A = this chain, B = another copy of it.
Amino acid sequence: MARNKYPEQTVDKILNVSSKLFTTKGYDQTSIQDILTELGMSKGAIYHHFKSKEDILDAVMAKHFEYSKELFQEALKKGDNARESLSYAFELLASHKGARELDHIIHSQIKNPQFVVKSLQKTIEESAPMVAKVLEDGNQDHSLSVQYPKETAEVIMLLLNIWINPILFIRSEGETVKRIEFLSYFLKQLGVDIISDSMIHNLNSIYSDIGGYK
């Protein structure tokens, strides 16, 4: 089989299988051959579409972030003002439905230093600016009052992704609840009162399901 009519489908297949293997086995522990075997393809195929293994990882990450970006933007459309919009968006991301999609990624981060670092960078470069914009909107429509919107946004996303998410650090359920409470508390101090009790409950039950607790 050569000269496929729809090479984009091939690229998609490669990304899907790679994503699955990277997140289940870990990036280092997944060989190109593993991907090829599962795909029933050849090395020529993969190296025709991607220039290196890391190039595949980058594409996988980009795809996932693209998805959560759309999810987030969609949720932002709800609510009467910026504060409510942001609340909705977080609630959605924290809901089972939304989080499930990212389950296997989140869960496998500990095995994947590469994943952690890449997702850190994407968090700062892509997610945080979106949140920052909403915070600034909130300052405009007076639903929020945030002194450092850009920095606050980065810290929120950073803490959510690597501190509260119970993957990097094995801990008990209670500890995660306290972290979420802390985030809520300190966001209030900063004039961002968006985390509801139901959201704390939701977040915690998600993390509990994922199995990050000892």
Contacts and interface: CB of A to CB of B under 8 A. Distances in A.
A117 interface: yes
Contacts of A168: 117, 120-121, 124
A116 interface: yes
Interface string A9-25: 00000000000000000
A148 B178 CA distance: 9
Interface string A90-112: 00000000000000000000000
Interface residues of A, number: 29
A32 interface: no
Nearest to A151: B182
Contacts of A186: 155, 186, 189-190
Q: Give the copy number.
A: 2
Nearest to A110: B117
Interface string A132-165: 0000000000000001101110110011001100
A185 interface: yes
Interface of A: 113-114, 116-117, 120-121, 124-125, 147-148, 150-152, 154-155, 158-159, 162-163, 168-169, 178-179, 181-182, 185-186, 189-190
Given A113-B114, A148-B182, A163 B155 contact: yes
List the 3 shortest-distance A-B pairs measured between CB atoms, nearest first.
Answer: A113-B113, A151-B182, A189-B189
A193 to B, nearest CB: 14
A121 B148 CA distance: 28
A151 B179 contact: yes
Contact of A169 (B124, B147, B159, B163): B124
A148 B159 CA distance: 15
Given A124-B168, A151-B178, A158-B158, 20 more contacts: A113-B114, A113-B117, A116-B116, A116-B117, A120-B168, A121-B168, A121-B169, A125-B169, A147-B185, A148-B181, A148-B185, A150-B178, A151-B179, A152-B182, A154-B163, A155-B182, A158-B162, A186-B186, A186-B189, A189-B190
